[in-house]
Structure 1
Amino acid sequence: MRTKSRVIAGVVAATLLAQLTACGSIFYPDRRGQIEGKIDPLIAGADAIGILFFVIPGLIAFAVDFATGAIYLPAGQSAQVDPQQLKQLVGADGQVDPLALKALIETSTGHQLPLDDPRLIQHSGSSEQLAAYGLRPAA
Protein backbone atom coordinates (compact mmCIF):
# COMPACT_ATOMS: atom_id res chain seq x y z
CA MET A 1 0.00 0.00 0.00
CA ARG A 2 2.94 2.30 0.68
CA THR A 3 4.17 1.99 -2.92
CA LYS A 4 0.76 2.91 -4.28
CA SER A 5 0.65 6.14 -2.27
CA ARG A 6 4.17 7.05 -3.45
CA VAL A 7 3.14 6.52 -7.06
CA ILE A 8 0.05 8.69 -6.58
CA ALA A 9 2.12 11.39 -4.88
CA GLY A 10 4.64 11.27 -7.73
CA VAL A 11 1.93 11.61 -10.35
CA VAL A 12 0.34 14.54 -8.51
CA ALA A 13 3.72 16.25 -8.13
CA ALA A 14 4.54 15.74 -11.81
CA THR A 15 1.14 17.12 -12.81
CA LEU A 16 1.57 20.23 -10.67
CA LEU A 17 5.08 20.74 -11.98
CA ALA A 18 3.87 20.45 -15.57
CA GLN A 19 1.23 23.12 -14.89
CA LEU A 20 3.81 25.52 -13.49
CA THR A 21 6.09 25.33 -16.50
CA ALA A 22 5.30 27.57 -19.42
CA CYS A 23 5.74 27.21 -23.15
CA GLY A 24 8.45 29.87 -23.46
CA SER A 25 10.44 28.33 -20.63
CA ILE A 26 10.25 24.92 -22.29
CA PHE A 27 10.83 25.94 -25.94
CA TYR A 28 13.47 28.63 -25.33
CA PRO A 29 15.18 28.22 -21.95
CA ASP A 30 18.00 30.53 -23.11
CA ARG A 31 15.56 33.47 -23.18
CA ARG A 32 14.97 33.40 -19.45
CA GLY A 33 16.14 36.49 -17.61
CA GLN A 34 15.05 39.07 -20.19
CA ILE A 35 13.31 42.09 -18.74
CA GLU A 36 11.55 43.49 -21.79
CA GLY A 37 11.30 43.28 -25.54
CA LYS A 38 8.89 42.35 -28.29
CA ILE A 39 6.52 39.52 -27.44
CA ASP A 40 7.05 36.35 -29.45
CA PRO A 41 3.70 35.56 -31.12
CA LEU A 42 4.47 31.83 -31.18
CA ILE A 43 4.89 31.64 -27.41
CA ALA A 44 1.93 33.93 -26.73
CA GLY A 45 -0.22 31.76 -29.00
CA ALA A 46 0.88 28.56 -27.30
CA ASP A 47 0.10 30.06 -23.89
CA ALA A 48 -3.30 31.22 -25.21
CA ILE A 49 -4.08 27.69 -26.34
CA GLY A 50 -3.38 26.64 -22.76
CA ILE A 51 -6.02 29.14 -21.62
CA LEU A 52 -8.55 27.71 -24.08
CA PHE A 53 -8.23 24.19 -22.76
CA PHE A 54 -7.32 24.76 -19.12
CA VAL A 55 -7.88 28.29 -17.79
CA ILE A 56 -5.80 28.19 -14.62
CA PRO A 57 -2.74 26.42 -16.13
CA GLY A 58 -2.91 28.76 -19.14
CA LEU A 59 -2.88 31.82 -16.91
CA ILE A 60 -0.04 30.32 -14.91
CA ALA A 61 1.87 29.73 -18.17
CA PHE A 62 1.47 33.38 -19.14
CA ALA A 63 2.52 34.51 -15.67
CA VAL A 64 5.61 32.27 -15.67
CA ASP A 65 6.64 33.35 -19.18
CA PHE A 66 6.29 37.04 -18.32
CA ALA A 67 8.01 36.61 -14.95
CA THR A 68 10.97 34.73 -16.43
CA GLY A 69 11.12 36.83 -19.61
CA ALA A 70 10.89 33.77 -21.85
CA ILE A 71 7.93 35.26 -23.76
CA TYR A 72 10.10 38.04 -25.21
CA LEU A 73 12.02 37.77 -28.46
CA PRO A 74 15.79 38.15 -28.13
CA ALA A 75 17.14 41.66 -28.62
CA GLY A 76 17.36 42.70 -32.25
CA GLN A 77 14.84 40.15 -33.53
CA SER A 78 11.33 40.77 -34.72
CA ALA A 79 8.44 38.64 -35.90
CA GLN A 80 7.21 41.03 -38.57
CA VAL A 81 8.45 42.93 -41.60
CA ASP A 82 8.17 46.70 -41.98
CA PRO A 83 5.51 47.61 -44.60
CA GLN A 84 7.82 50.32 -45.97
CA GLN A 85 10.35 47.64 -46.87
CA LEU A 86 7.62 45.57 -48.52
CA LYS A 87 6.73 48.51 -50.78
CA GLN A 88 10.19 48.32 -52.33
CA LEU A 89 9.55 44.73 -53.45
CA VAL A 90 6.49 45.57 -55.55
CA GLY A 91 7.39 46.15 -59.18
CA ALA A 92 5.76 48.56 -61.60
CA ASP A 93 3.50 45.75 -62.81
CA GLY A 94 2.29 45.04 -59.25
CA GLN A 95 4.13 41.72 -58.97
CA VAL A 96 6.36 40.79 -56.03
CA ASP A 97 9.77 39.22 -56.63
CA PRO A 98 9.69 35.98 -54.55
CA LEU A 99 13.47 35.81 -54.12
CA ALA A 100 13.65 39.39 -52.86
CA LEU A 101 10.72 38.68 -50.50
CA LYS A 102 12.48 35.60 -49.16
CA ALA A 103 15.68 37.58 -48.58
CA LEU A 104 13.79 40.39 -46.82
CA ILE A 105 11.97 37.98 -44.50
CA GLU A 106 15.23 36.23 -43.68
CA THR A 107 17.08 39.45 -42.87
CA SER A 108 14.17 40.98 -40.92
CA THR A 109 13.06 38.01 -38.86
CA GLY A 110 15.95 35.56 -39.02
CA HIS A 111 13.66 32.80 -40.32
CA GLN A 112 13.98 31.02 -43.65
CA LEU A 113 10.70 30.38 -45.41
CA PRO A 114 10.38 27.88 -48.27
CA LEU A 115 8.81 30.33 -50.75
CA ASP A 116 9.99 28.18 -53.65
CA ASP A 117 8.17 25.10 -52.34
CA PRO A 118 5.81 23.75 -55.05
CA ARG A 119 3.14 23.10 -52.40
CA LEU A 120 2.97 26.81 -51.54
CA ILE A 121 -0.41 28.32 -52.38
CA GLN A 122 -0.28 32.02 -53.23
CA HIS A 123 -3.31 34.24 -52.80
CA SER A 124 -3.82 37.71 -54.20
CA GLY A 125 -4.74 40.54 -51.86
CA SER A 126 -7.71 42.83 -52.23
CA SER A 127 -7.59 46.50 -53.16
CA GLU A 128 -8.47 47.40 -49.57
CA GLN A 129 -5.50 45.48 -48.23
CA LEU A 130 -3.16 47.20 -50.67
CA ALA A 131 -4.60 50.61 -49.79
CA ALA A 132 -3.97 49.92 -46.09
CA TYR A 133 -0.26 49.69 -46.91
CA GLY A 134 -0.33 52.73 -49.17
CA LEU A 135 -0.05 50.69 -52.37
CA ARG A 136 -2.04 51.14 -55.56
CA PRO A 137 -3.28 48.07 -57.41
CA ALA A 138 -1.88 47.65 -60.90
CA ALA A 139 -3.46 45.66 -63.68
Structure 2
Amino acid sequence: MRVPFRLIGGVLIATLLTQVTACGSIFYPDRRGQIDGKIDPAIAALDAVGLLFYIIPGLIAFAVDFTTGAIYFAPGEKTAHVDPQTLKQAIGADGKVDNLKLQAILQRETGRSLPLDDPRLIQHKGSVQQLATLGLQPAA
Protein backbone atom coordinates (compact mmCIF):
# COMPACT_ATOMS: atom_id res chain seq x y z
CA MET A 1 0.00 0.00 0.00
CA ARG A 2 2.93 2.37 0.66
CA VAL A 3 4.56 1.86 -2.73
CA PRO A 4 1.94 3.78 -4.78
CA PHE A 5 2.17 6.75 -2.40
CA ARG A 6 5.97 6.82 -2.74
CA LEU A 7 5.69 6.49 -6.48
CA ILE A 8 3.18 9.35 -6.68
CA GLY A 9 5.33 11.45 -4.37
CA GLY A 10 8.43 10.79 -6.47
CA VAL A 11 6.64 11.72 -9.68
CA LEU A 12 5.31 14.89 -8.05
CA ILE A 13 8.77 15.92 -6.81
CA ALA A 14 10.34 15.20 -10.22
CA THR A 15 7.64 17.30 -11.92
CA LEU A 16 8.17 20.21 -9.53
CA LEU A 17 11.95 20.09 -10.00
CA THR A 18 11.63 20.19 -13.78
CA GLN A 19 9.34 23.21 -13.52
CA VAL A 20 11.72 25.12 -11.23
CA THR A 21 14.55 25.01 -13.74
CA ALA A 22 14.70 27.76 -16.30
CA CYS A 23 14.49 26.67 -19.93
CA GLY A 24 16.83 29.29 -21.40
CA SER A 25 19.57 28.51 -18.90
CA ILE A 26 19.35 24.81 -19.72
CA PHE A 27 18.98 24.95 -23.52
CA TYR A 28 21.30 27.91 -24.20
CA PRO A 29 23.97 28.20 -21.48
CA ASP A 30 26.12 30.26 -23.88
CA ARG A 31 23.53 33.07 -23.73
CA ARG A 32 24.08 33.71 -20.03
CA GLY A 33 25.49 37.09 -19.10
CA GLN A 34 23.62 39.20 -21.65
CA ILE A 35 22.21 42.45 -20.38
CA ASP A 36 19.46 43.01 -22.93
CA GLY A 37 18.31 42.17 -26.42
CA LYS A 38 15.36 40.66 -28.26
CA ILE A 39 13.45 38.07 -26.24
CA ASP A 40 13.45 34.56 -27.71
CA PRO A 41 9.75 33.65 -28.05
CA ALA A 42 10.45 29.90 -27.83
CA ILE A 43 12.13 30.25 -24.43
CA ALA A 44 9.42 32.64 -23.23
CA ALA A 45 6.75 30.11 -24.30
CA LEU A 46 8.52 27.26 -22.50
CA ASP A 47 8.77 29.38 -19.35
CA ALA A 48 5.07 30.25 -19.74
CA VAL A 49 4.19 26.55 -19.74
CA GLY A 50 5.47 26.54 -16.17
CA LEU A 51 2.98 29.30 -15.39
CA LEU A 52 0.12 27.19 -16.73
CA PHE A 53 0.83 24.27 -14.43
CA TYR A 54 2.42 25.87 -11.39
CA ILE A 55 2.54 29.62 -10.78
CA ILE A 56 5.56 29.82 -8.46
CA PRO A 57 7.94 27.59 -10.50
CA GLY A 58 6.91 29.41 -13.68
CA LEU A 59 7.70 32.78 -12.12
CA ILE A 60 11.03 31.42 -10.89
CA ALA A 61 11.84 30.18 -14.42
CA PHE A 62 11.15 33.64 -15.86
CA ALA A 63 13.14 35.32 -13.09
CA VAL A 64 16.16 33.06 -13.63
CA ASP A 65 16.11 33.49 -17.41
CA PHE A 66 15.81 37.28 -17.20
CA THR A 67 18.45 37.54 -14.48
CA THR A 68 20.98 35.40 -16.31
CA GLY A 69 20.10 36.90 -19.71
CA ALA A 70 19.45 33.47 -21.22
CA ILE A 71 15.99 34.51 -22.45
CA TYR A 72 17.49 36.94 -24.97
CA PHE A 73 18.58 35.97 -28.46
CA ALA A 74 22.31 35.57 -28.87
CA PRO A 75 23.83 38.55 -30.65
CA GLY A 76 25.11 36.27 -33.39
CA GLU A 77 28.50 35.17 -34.55
CA LYS A 78 29.56 38.62 -35.65
CA THR A 79 32.96 39.82 -34.53
CA ALA A 80 34.55 43.21 -34.84
CA HIS A 81 38.19 44.19 -34.74
CA VAL A 82 39.40 47.57 -33.61
CA ASP A 83 42.97 48.74 -34.12
CA PRO A 84 44.77 48.94 -30.75
CA GLN A 85 46.26 52.30 -31.78
CA THR A 86 42.74 53.66 -32.07
CA LEU A 87 41.86 52.35 -28.62
CA LYS A 88 44.85 54.14 -27.09
CA GLN A 89 42.99 57.41 -27.64
CA ALA A 90 40.62 56.39 -24.81
CA ILE A 91 43.46 56.10 -22.28
CA GLY A 92 44.12 59.26 -20.29
CA ALA A 93 47.49 60.63 -19.16
CA ASP A 94 47.06 58.94 -15.78
CA GLY A 95 46.61 55.52 -17.45
CA LYS A 96 42.88 55.23 -16.74
CA VAL A 97 40.34 54.43 -19.45
CA ASP A 98 37.77 57.11 -20.22
CA ASN A 99 34.53 55.16 -20.75
CA LEU A 100 32.88 57.92 -22.79
CA LYS A 101 35.79 58.10 -25.25
CA LEU A 102 35.98 54.32 -25.43
CA GLN A 103 32.24 54.10 -26.08
CA ALA A 104 32.50 56.69 -28.87
CA ILE A 105 35.45 54.86 -30.48
CA LEU A 106 33.69 51.50 -30.35
CA GLN A 107 30.49 52.96 -31.78
CA ARG A 108 32.40 54.65 -34.60
CA GLU A 109 34.49 51.56 -35.45
CA THR A 110 31.91 48.80 -35.01
CA GLY A 111 28.63 50.61 -35.59
CA ARG A 112 27.19 49.26 -32.33
CA SER A 113 26.48 51.14 -29.14
CA LEU A 114 27.80 49.33 -26.08
CA PRO A 115 26.41 50.21 -22.64
CA LEU A 116 29.73 50.98 -20.93
CA ASP A 117 27.97 53.23 -18.42
CA ASP A 118 25.54 50.49 -17.36
CA PRO A 119 25.76 49.91 -13.58
CA ARG A 120 25.53 46.14 -14.15
CA LEU A 121 28.77 46.16 -16.15
CA ILE A 122 31.52 44.27 -14.34
CA GLN A 123 34.95 45.79 -14.80
CA HIS A 124 38.03 43.79 -13.93
CA LYS A 125 41.12 45.54 -12.68
CA GLY A 126 44.52 44.15 -13.54
CA SER A 127 48.13 44.77 -12.67
CA VAL A 128 51.52 44.58 -14.33
CA GLN A 129 52.23 41.39 -12.36
CA GLN A 130 49.13 39.71 -13.79
CA LEU A 131 50.22 40.63 -17.30
CA ALA A 132 53.69 39.23 -16.62
CA THR A 133 52.24 35.89 -15.47
CA LEU A 134 50.42 35.69 -18.79
CA GLY A 135 53.56 36.55 -20.71
CA LEU A 136 52.20 39.92 -21.89
CA GLN A 137 53.93 43.28 -21.95
CA PRO A 138 52.02 46.38 -20.80
CA ALA A 139 51.67 48.71 -23.76
CA ALA A 140 49.36 51.46 -22.56
- TM-score using structure 1 length: 0.41
- TM-score using structure 2 length: 0.41
